[in-house]
């Protein structure tokens, strides 16, 4: 029975030692892709006028998931201000109820649509960033646990020699 335990600990440990670093590397590659895409968008926080909690971002480019989330907050605040707190669907319903001819509602509907689309895109970057953090963390955990299993198996195996 002890031999089976040693074999299982070793096999599971080796599998975890193999999978853990792969997860870390893939997570970092995913994070690099997000960072590269955000850089290509050339989004920069305004120098002034940010909410109090976002002032550290003033004038900085958006290159990380947390920054994308913060910028999405800025967009969301701007859209709510422009639309009086109404959503795209509410404005669209008003526009349709007015016969689809009201130019002011048409412009407001377009503003709401574009703002919410940009906001959603940035939130997608933030969520992907969070997922890569999870993958990196789990990869590190698997690597450590795998090393512990291999060591435990080796310790049990050396106990067989006594």
Domain-embedded: residue 78: no
Domain-embedded: residue 16: yes
What is the C-alpha to C-alpha distance for residues 134 and 136, in angstroms, rounded to an integer?
5
Number of domains in the chain: 1
What global pTM score does this model have?
Answer: 0.83
- The domain of 138 spans 2-71+116-159
Q: What angle do CA 137, 142, 145 make, to 5 degrees?
A: 125
Domain-embedded: residue 98: no
Domain-embedded: residue 60: yes
Domain-embedded: residue 34: yes
Residue from 121, 120, 122, 118 nearest 110 by CA: 118
Residue 148: which residues within 8 A CB-CB, separation 6 or more? 13
Domain-embedded: residue 48: yes
Give me the tens of pLDDT residue by residue for the chain, a chain 162 residues long.
Answer: 788 888 998 999 999 999 999 999 999 999 999 999 999 999 999 999 898 899 999 999 999 999 999 999 999 999 999 999 999 999 999 999 989 888 999 999 999 999 999 999 999 999 999 999 999 999 999 999 999 999 999 998 887 555
Domain-embedded: residue 96: no
Q: What is the CA radius of gyration of the chain?
A: 26
Domain-embedded: residue 107: no
């Amino acid at each position: 029975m002890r031999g089976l335990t040693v074999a299982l600990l070793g096999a599971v440990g080796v599998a975890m030692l193999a999978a853990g670093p792969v997860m870390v590397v893939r997570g970092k590659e995913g994070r690099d892709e997000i960072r590269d895409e955000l850089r290509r968008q050339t989004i920069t926080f305004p120098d002034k006028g940010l909410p109090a909690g976002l002032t550290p971002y003033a004038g900085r480019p958006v290159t990380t998931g947390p920054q994308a989330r913060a910028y999405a907050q800025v967009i969301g605040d701007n859209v709510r201000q422009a639309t009086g707190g109404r959503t795209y669907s509410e404005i669209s319903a008003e526009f349709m109820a007015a016969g689809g001819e009201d130019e002011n509602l048409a412009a407001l509907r377009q503003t709401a649509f574009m703002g919410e689309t940009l906001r959603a895109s940035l939130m997608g970057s933030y969520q992907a960033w969070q997922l890569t953090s999870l993958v990196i963390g789990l990869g590190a955990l698997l690597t450590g646990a795998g090393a512990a299993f291999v060591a435990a198996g080796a310790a049990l195996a050396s106990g067989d020699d006594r």
